[in-house]
């Protein structure tokens, strides 16, 4: 399996519901380093996994829909704890939608999967992996 990873970041505000979250139940900010890894079994006709420029651009677009926002106010997250895990799945699903729409180029239609990792810090991160 071949893979290519691109990286960006996002800054959000949110709060959590539930005693398990302790002080994070209050509104707080988070900055995530975001890695998006695209996988496929064989390289495309151009000898690549995905166009790195398009992958970087589309990751930036997806993150732009989330960054500098209070996710508690976003209708897409109504009633949802926007944990690192939930946000990793959200980014992966939105990237998958862009792959299917052709926004990462025709060659990207041969991708087998995407993994998105959100790094909360240098010691903690969460990932979500999905098939395409």
* pLDDT per residue rounded down to tens, the chain (132 residues): 999 999 999 999 999 999 999 999 999 999 999 999 999 999 999 999 999 999 999 999 999 999 999 999 999 999 999 999 999 999 999 999 999 999 999 999 999 999 999 999 999 999 999 999
pTM: 0.97
Q: What CATH number was assigned to the domain covering residues 1-16+28-33+77-132?
A: 3.30.479.10
Task: Give the pLDDT of residue 43.
Answer: 97
Task: Give the pLDDT of residue 31.
Answer: 97
Q: Are 117 and 35 in contact, with CB atoms under 8 Å apart?
A: yes
């Amino acid at each position: 399996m071949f893979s290519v990873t691109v990286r960006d970041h996002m800054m959000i505000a949110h709060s959590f519901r539930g005693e398990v979250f302790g002080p994070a139940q209050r509104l707080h900010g988070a900055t995530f380093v975001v890695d998006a890894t695209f996988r496929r079994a064989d390289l495309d006709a151009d000898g690549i996994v995905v166009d790195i420029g398009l992958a970087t651009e589309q990751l930036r677009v997806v993150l732009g829909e989330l960054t500098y926002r209070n996710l508690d106010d976003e209708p897409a997250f109504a009633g949802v704890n926007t944990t690192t895990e939930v946000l990793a799945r959200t980014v992966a699903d939105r990237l998958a939608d862009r792959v299917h729409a052709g926004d990462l180029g025709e060659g990207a239609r041969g991708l087998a999967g995407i993994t998105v990792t959100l790094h909360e810090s240098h010691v903690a991160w969460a990932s979500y992996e999905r098939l395409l």
